[in-house]
Structure 1
Amino acid sequence: MKKESDVLVIDCRSMAGVSPMAASSLAQQPFPTPSPFTFSIASARSNTRPSIHLCSLILRFSALIFSFVCAFSLATSTPKKQGRAPSNFNEYPELMYCFIVNIFTFIYSAFQLFKGVCDITYRGILIPDMISDYISFILDQLVGYLLISSSSVAIPAIQRIEHTASLSKATIIAISMSFVTFLAIATCGLLSGYKLCKRIIW
């Protein structure tokens, strides 16, 4: 009986001494804890990427509509000739510049919509993400500058157009739509800059 009790005491002590190390080693080997940096990146990408893409698509679509309204209002204005005053918007260099810039913005917004749908559908297979972020950031700055410059240049042309002519109303609509298009493109530029900075930092 003494031997058996001694054996039991020895076994219990040996198990008590070995069990913490064995438990910790077994807990660490089959279930490695992931790095907090990788987990934060994965969770941030999964949470922010769809919302950023959705907001960008909505803004691109609004810029497409507003630029189309701006160009359409200038193209459909058919004022009558009255004396020596110009009778069409293409006789005003400021309005012609605004018209060309909004046509370019319409084409650019259509391209960005197509690229955004392809990025969501094919997940960057057609256009790599890094090249897409750089192109979007640079072109957003360029288009935004052209829009704000064309809107500011076309404002003095309103004073030279007779207020009774339909071209005056079309010019006011075109300038207001061009400015709203600038706001949409500027917001898209902020989003593209955020995505580019996030890509450079990570």
Structure 2
Amino acid sequence: MMKEGSGVWMSPRQPMVAVSPSATYLSPAMGVPTPSPFSFSVASTRWSSSRPSIHYISLCLRVMTLVFSFGSSLALATTMSNNKRHDYFTMSNNKRDNYKQSFQYYPEFVYSIVITSLAFIYSAYQLFKGVTDIAFKAILISDKTSDYTSFIFDQLAGYLLVSCSSVTALTIHRQLESNTSLQKAAIVSVCMSLAALLTIAVCAILSGYKLSKRIMW
């Protein structure tokens, strides 16, 4: 368009359209990129690899507690007799001697088997939970609840293992004859329960560390 009386040409300005920078690199044929079918597995792998090393150390300790508590129960269970306790006074002398070589004759040993069996069950639960936490991202119980419950039950399990180990050791010293099969089995059971106690004590320390870290930090 030319203005009259002057030699200047003027043309109407066209409105500018804002264009995204990314649009200059995408052609219509390319379309929208689709997500990779392995995106979920990669995310889950990153989550599992981001688990702190203390989690795997705790799992190893749970395995050790599981083995030691099972061995402690098994050592005494191998001395089980088929005779009934209420028939003790009607037994012959040979049967009485055989029954005295069974853990059923001593309430302290029965108590020890019960406690180590409970420790075995608890360790199996903690091990199963730890594996599922890695595989399925804490689907059973939340991390916060797990920190509280693990700290409480680790303390309780440690106390019960201390009590059953001390009771079994006193029974071996005061009531059992030397060089008998029951004495040997009881000594093995005490050693295994003490080993389970040490591992559960370390688990309790780690549980306390994780709980204090959650509360304070």
| TM-score, with length taken from structure 2 | 0.67
Is 1:55 the counterpart of 2:51? The answer is no
Partner residue, 1:69: 71
Pick the aligned partner of 2:152 from 132, 138, 156.
Answer: 138
Partner residue, 1:172: 187
3-state SS of 1:100 partner: helix
| TM-score, with length taken from structure 1 | 0.72
Partner residue, 1:195: 210
Pick the aligned partner of 2:101 from 87, 99, 110.
Answer: 87
Aligned CA RMSD, in angstroms, stands at 2.3
3-state SS of 2:177 partner: coil
Is the CA contact (8 Å cut-off) linking 2:79 and 2:101 kept in structure 1? no
Is the CA contact (8 Å cut-off) linking 1:78 and 1:167 kept in structure 2? no
1:164, distance to aligned residue in structure 2 (A): 2.6
Which structure has the larger Rg over C-alpha atoms?
2
The whole-number CA distance in structure 2 between the counterparts of 1:77 and 1:181 is: 21
* Greater helix fraction, Structure 1 or Structure 2: 1
Pick the aligned partner of 2:172 from 146, 158, 162.
Answer: 158
* Gapped regions of structure 1 (runs ≥ 5): 1-45
2:154 aligned partner, one-letter code: D
Is 1:102 the counterpart of 2:116? The answer is yes
1:54-87 CA distances to partner (integer Å, 9 max, x unpaired)? 1000000000000011000100125875659723
Partner residue, 1:28: none
3-state SS of 1:158 partner: helix
Between the two proteins, the alignment pairs up a number of residues equal to 158
Pick the aligned partner of 2:131 from 104, 117, 123.
Answer: 117
The whole-number CA distance in structure 1 between the counterparts of 2:140 and 2:191 is: 36
What are the within-5 Å matches in structure 2 for residues 31-42 of structure 1? none
**What's the % identity of the aligned pairs?**
51
1:91, distance to aligned residue in structure 2 (A): 1.4
The whole-number CA distance in structure 1 between the counterparts of 2:98 and 2:135 is: 56
3-state SS of 1:126 partner: coil
